[in-house]
Structures are given as structure tokens and as C-alpha cells.
């Protein structure tokens, strides 16, 4: 388990443009099967290559909701409280193709996530964290924004 | 088959209740690589003031996609699920979801827009407790790709 933030973020100590953190997430086909089972989204484009190609995709792609759900963990750990994320939205701009690396230690794709303070609302006591999410050098999410309620 | 433009404005009333189980929250948290202890450990969740383990911010997608399934399965909709691509998603939490919640979802088809040979469909699920307390509002836009899109 990751440690919670030692000190919860305080609105008065934040400013727009401040980076809250960054991380890389390795993704495998096995992760997509796990997400399919956990979420109930069994669309075969996320686990069957032939099917994905037949519907004119480059191959198996990650669930957009997997990418969205994994990317926000940077914000949850920074806030120190999963329930502090009161609003979270994104657009899915580019698919994330995940190569079949079964039987190796290699990831099938890597997500790179950077979070910065996009806006502060002193009255509502919230911070909007803007996430930059890229894979293989391409932005895969746009307008990925999480609104966090601060103490 | 073309998307039925008359879908816009349609409301699907809540179907069966979704029982939020502790193990489902843990399973979903692992699946999105969440590490916060409040997803896994009841004591950790209670120390933050929650009654039980708390769901990750995108957990409500399970309830929302069950509601969306009613629309996709509706023979009048004309949606080919294999050509559906998720375009946009938003979660607004009126309060966090915790284990033990019993949730219902009312699905609203807010917008149907023709795009090339396909269509962009925006749905909104109003998720509430069985007692009627508002829990979350989720908005999804899906692109149903036409041939060659």
C-alpha cells in the first residue's frame, strides 16, 4: 500500500501551475482482463486482437475507463482521501494500444501521468487538478480534470 | 443500421438495485491500480470518517454502464456495441460510495448527434440510494462509429 500524504494539502499553500506529482503506470494485457472482470465491460476490443482488428482498430486497446481510473490515483494519493475527489472528467482522445507481452516481464504499454493545479476555488475550498496523460508520446486523455475538496 | 434520433430525451427508469460489496470495491480498486488503504481496510476507511471501505472515484462506472446497457440492448436504439467507442466521461459525486450502499440509476439520453455515418450519444445516469438520496451523477458520451470510421 502506498503511504498517504504525510500532510494533507492545504488550499492556502497551493498555487495554479504547481505540479502535485507524476508517475508511470505499466499496463499489460492481463491488466485489461482484470479490469474487464472488475468493471463488467467485456467488449472484446479490450482482449481479443482479431476482433479489434476486424472492427478497424490497431489491435487490442485499453478500456478508456481503465486509463481514466488509473490516472486519478495520483490525485487520490496526493489528497490522502479517495472521497475528496468530488468531480472527475475526461475526453478520450487517442486509444492506448496494449501489446501482447504475455510470458515476459515487459509492459504492453506505459501511461505517463503528470498532475498540476489548474484552478483554486477559495469559497468552495476546492482545487482542480489537471492531468496530462500520455502513452508512447501521444496524449491519450484531454481535459482530464479532477476537483478535490480540501480541508 | 442508423441510430434512432428519437432516442434523445428518453428516460429509462431504475432497474434492479446495485449492492455495493466490500470485495467488489477491493477488486475494482486493484483493477485501477489504486493503493489507498481506505479502499481495502475498514479501519483505514473509518479513520477517515467513512462507514466502510470507500470506492475509487471511477467506481460508479459499473452502475452507469449497467444503466447504459438498457439503451444499448433496446432494439429501437440501433446501436452496434462492437462499434462503440467511449468519447467522454464525467463523474460528479454528491457523496462518496461506500460498501453497503444499495444504489439505483435512472438513465437519461441527453443528446443524440449524427456524426458522419455514425452518432455521438450522451447519456446521464442519476445514481441514488434506495432511499432516494442523490449519490452521483455520471455523464458518458459514446461514439457509435459508422462504416469506415
Q: What is the pLDDT of residues A110-151, one digit of tens each?
A: 999 999 999 999 999 999 999 999 999 999 999 999 999 997
- pLDDT of residue A3 exceeding 60, the answer is no
Tell me which DSSP letter residue B77 carries: T
HSE toward the beta carbon, residue A5, CA cutoff 13 A: 17
- The pLDDT, as a whole number, for residue A1 is 42
Residue A6 forms part of a structural domain = no
Which neighbouring-strand residues pair with B104?
Answer: B128
Residue A32 lies in a domain: no
Question: Of B15, B3, B11, B21, which Cα lies nearest the Cα of B100?
Answer: B21
Specify if A110 maps to a domain. yes
A149 and chain B in contact, CB less than 8 A: no
pLDDT at A96: 97
Q: Give the closest residue to A40 by CA, choosing from B57, B65, B71, B107.
A: B65
Q: What is the pLDDT of residues B59-78, one digit of tens each?
A: 999 999 999 999 988 888 88
Q: Total structural domains in chain A?
A: 1
Residue A9's φ and ψ, nearest 5 degrees, are: -65, 145
Which residue, among A38, A54, A92, would best test binding to B if mutated, counting the most B CBs under 10 Å from its CB? Answer: A38
The Cα-based distances of B31 to A37, A73, B48, B79, B126 in angstroms read 9, 12, 23, 28, 24
Strands A109-121 and B18-19 come out as unpaired
Residues of A in contact with B96 (CB under 8 A): 82-83
Grid cell locating B8:
434523445
- At A24 the pLDDT is 98
Residue A92 domain flag: yes
Q: State the pairing for strand pair B102-115/B11-12.
A: antiparallel
A141 touches chain B (CB under 8 A): no
pLDDT at B4: 82
Contacts of residue A119, Cβ cutoff 8 Å, sequence gap at least 6: A16, A127, A128
As a whole number of angstroms, the distance between CA A100 and CA B19 comes to 35
pLDDT of res. B6: 87
The three three-digit cell numbers of residue B106, written as one number: 435512472
Tell the residue number behind the cell numbers 475527489, with chain if given: A85
pLDDT level of residue A4 (50, 70, 90 thresholds):
very low
pLDDT single digits (tens) A35-76: 999 999 999 999 999 999 998 889 999 999 999 999 999 999
The structure's pTM equals 0.95
Q: Is residue A93 part of a domain?
A: yes
Domain span including residue A78:
11-26+62-149
Q: A11 is written with which cell numbers? A: 488550499
**SS3 state at A74:** helix
Q: How many Å apart are CA B61 and CA B75, to the nearest integer?
A: 23
Residue A100 included in any domain: yes
Evaluate whether residue A83 is within a structural domain.
yes
**Measured distance between the N- and C-terminal CA atoms of chain B, rounded to whole angstroms:** 14
Closest approach of chain B CAs to the CA of A75, in angstroms? 10
Q: Is residue A104 included in any domain, yes or no?
A: yes
For residue A108, give the CATH number of its domain. Answer: 3.10.129.10
Which range among A16-20, B2-6, B101-105 shows the weakest confidence by mean pLDDT? Answer: B2-6
Angle subtended by helix axes B22-31 and A29-39, to nearest 10:
150
Report CB contact under 8 Å: B86, A38. Answer: no
**Cell numbers describing residue B56:** 475509487
Whole-angstrom distance, CA of residue B54 vs CA of residue A65:
18
Residue that the C-alpha cell 438495485 belongs to = B17
Amino acid at each position: 500500500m502506498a503511504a498517504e500524504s504525510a500532510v494533507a494539502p492545504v488550499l492556502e499553500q497551493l498555487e495554479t501551475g504547481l505540479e502535485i506529482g507524476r508517475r508511470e503506470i505499466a499496463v499489460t494485457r492481463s491488466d485489461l482482463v482484470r479490469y474487464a472482470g472488475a468493471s463488467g465491460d467485456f467488449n472484446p476490443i479490450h482482449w481479443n486482437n482479431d476482433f479489434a482488428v476486424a472492427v478497424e482498430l490497431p489491435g487490442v486497446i485499453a478500456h478508456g475507463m481503465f486509463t481514466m481510473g488509473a490516472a486519478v490515483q495520483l490525485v487520490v494519493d496526493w489528497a490522502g482521501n479517495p472521497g475528496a475527489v468530488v468531480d472527475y472528467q475526461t475526453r478520450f482522445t487517442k486509444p492506448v494500444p496494449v501489446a501482447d507481452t504475455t510470458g515476459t516481464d515487459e509492459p504492453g504499454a506505459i501511461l505517463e501521468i503528470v498532475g498540476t493545479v489548474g484552478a483554486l476555488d477559495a469559497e468552495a475550498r476546492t482545487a482542480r487538478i489537471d492531468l496530462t496523460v500520455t502513452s508512447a508520446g501521444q496524449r491519450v486523455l484531454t481535459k482530464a480534470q479532477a476537483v478535490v475538496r480540501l480541508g | 443500421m442508423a441510430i434512432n434520433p428519437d432516442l434523445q430525451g428518453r428516460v429509462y427508469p431504475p432497474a434492479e438495485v446495485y449492492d455495493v460489496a466490500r470485495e467488489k470495491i477491493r477488486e475494482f480498486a486493484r483493477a485501477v491500480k489504486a493503493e489507498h488503504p481506505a479502499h481495502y481496510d475498514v479501519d483505514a476507511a473509518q479513520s477517515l470518517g467513512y462507514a466502510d471501505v470507500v470506492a475509487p472515484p471511477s467506481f460508479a462506472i459499473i452502475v452507469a454502464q449497467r444503466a447504459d446497457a438498457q439503451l444499448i440492448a433496446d432494439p429501437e436504439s440501433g446501436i452496434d456495441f462492437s462499434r462503440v467507442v467511449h468519447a467522454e466521461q464525467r463523474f460528479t459525486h454528491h457523496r462518496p460510495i461506500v460498501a453497503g450502499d444499495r444504489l439505483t440509476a435512472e438513465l437519461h439520453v441527453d443528446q443524440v448527434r449524427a456524426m458522419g455515418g455514425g452518432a455521438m450519444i450522451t447519456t446521464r445516469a442519476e445514481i441514488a440510494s434506495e432511499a432516494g438520496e442523490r449519490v452521483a451523477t455520471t455523464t458518458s458520451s459514446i461514439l457509435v462509429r459508422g462504416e469506415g470510421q
